[in-house]
Amino acid sequence: MIRFESYPELLQWILWLLIPGLLIIGLWARSVKRRVIKLAGDPDLIEQLSHSVSKPKRRLKETLRILAIVLILFAVWGPKFSDELTEVHREGVDIVILLDISNSMRAQDIKPDRLEKARFELRKLIRELRGDRIGLVVFAGRAHLQTPLTLDYSAFEMFLNISDESLIGVQGTSFKNALDVGLSAFDQEDKQHRAMIVISDGEDHEGELEAVLQRAKEENVIIHTAGIGSFSGTPIPIVDDRGKLKGYRKTATGEIVTTRLYIETLQMISAETGGRFVHLNTAAASLDDIYNDILGMEQKEFSRHEFTNFKEQYHWFTWLALVFLILDLLITDLHGTERDWQGDYIHD
């Protein structure tokens, strides 16, 4: 099987027209040469003067040049050959991300703020994925499936970038609802190869997690958790559309609302389901340990397809054209024996 390099359409037409164009120019030049010879003088005398030239050798040299030009053009077209099919298997794990986008995630105890730190770590995670499907659930007082499980990491990142506190009208933090939505995001026909990552500051305003954690265990979902924030109280900023600080959130009595990291709930969720807890409290902290645990899980096959593995072969045509050009230089178009011209045109 053969195919050629994909050039712009105009360039393809130029390349394909070069061979017939060169042939036409060659035929025209030969015709002009013949007319010039006829006008040069006596045809018999010219024949005698060119007797030392071997016409077969001249035709051979012309053939070598034409073949070299054709081979060079063929090499420029970028021929690729293949006689084998390669089968590709795509394996991985289903990973659902639960991202807390409540107002408290805008606290700036982690620079630039908790939510941006979480998004940064998730972007890093995306670049580490090796064929895993990934989905995104955002939550505050209610949860919303932002991205179903997908292999399209670019689409996931696009939806991640627009995920902020404005997406959920009901504020607060409900782990119960978030976990329910996250569990429903998995393929219900496959009860294996599942992992969940919860990223939050740990504030839970509802509780009652026993039933949803039991469901997670029955459906073989390992839940990892990542706590983000500091243990000391931090105010929650209010910014305008340009990101300029307008003030801080306050209670009805005018007191500034503070938020801190609550690791107890997060650690309990991960411990109950066999997951890992990490603390994203510094710039160096990451989700690497969690993903390494996920890599150790049994993988499932998401897709399998065959493709033809084409290999560049232009160099063979280039080398062959070079050989023909060298032969053209080495071959002379004269006869192999010298001719004694003395007396050919002098008669007594």
Q: What is the pLDDT of residues 78-132, one digit of tens each?
A: 777 766 666 556 678 899 999 999 988 999 888 889 999 999 999 999 998 888 8
Assess whether pLDDT exceeds 80 at residue 6.
no
Would you put residue 343 in left (φ > 0), alpha (ψ -120 to 50) or beta? left
Position 74 scores a pLDDT of 77
Would you put residue 227 in left (φ > 0), alpha (ψ -120 to 50) or beta? beta
Cα 259 to chain centroid distance, Å, stands at 40
The rounded mean pLDDT for the chain is 82
Position 2 scores a pLDDT of 62
Asked if 117 and 279 count as a contact pair (C-beta separation under 8 A), the reply is no
User: What distance in Å separates the CA atoms of residue 303 and residue 59, rounded to the nearest whole number?
Assistant: 58
Pairing mode of beta strands 237-239, 221-228: unpaired
DSSP 5: -
| Token pair in block for residue 234 | 């931090």
Give Cβ neighbours of residue 150 (< 8 Å, ≥ 6 apart). Answer: 133, 134, 135, 156
Higher pLDDT: 220 or 34? It is: 220
For 244-276, what is each residue's pLDDT tens digit? 878 888 878 888 888 889 999 999 999 999 999
| Lowest-pLDDT range of 6-20, 181-195, 302-316 | 302-316
DSSP 299: P
What Å distances lie between residue 107 and 76, 93, 170, 204, CA to CA?
59, 32, 18, 16
User: What distance in Å separates the CA atoms of residue 17 and residue 10, rounded to the nearest whole number?
Assistant: 11
Assess whether pLDDT exceeds 70 at residue 171.
yes
Instruction: Count the neighbouring beta carbons within 10 Å of the beta carbon of residue 93.
Output: 24
User: What distance in Å separates the CA atoms of residue 116 and residue 118, rounded to the nearest whole number?
Assistant: 5
Position 274 scores a pLDDT of 93
Give me the mean pLDDT over the 198-218 stretch: 88
What is the secondary structure of 97-143 as a DSSP string? EEEE-SGGGG--SSSS-HHHHHHHHHHHHHHH-SS-EEEEEEESSSE
User: What distance in Å separates the CA atoms of residue 146 and residue 102, rounded to the nearest whole number?
Assistant: 15
What Å distances lie between residue 115 and 112, 118, 122, 256, CA to CA?
9, 5, 11, 20
Query: Which residues does residue 137 pair with via DSSP β-bridges, in sequence order?
Result: 98, 145
| Token pair in block for residue 337 | 């024996």
Assess whether pLDDT exceeds 60 at residue 7.
yes
User: What distance in Å separates the CA atoms of residue 110 and residue 53, rounded to the nearest whole number?
Assistant: 89
Give which of 148, 225, 140 is closest to 175, Cα–Cα.
140
Entry pTM = 0.63
Position 90 scores a pLDDT of 61
Q: What domains, with CATH codes, occur in the chain?
A: 2-83+311-330 (no CATH), 89-304 (3.40.50.410)
For 49-67, what is each residue's pLDDT tens digit? 566 667 777 778 888 888 8
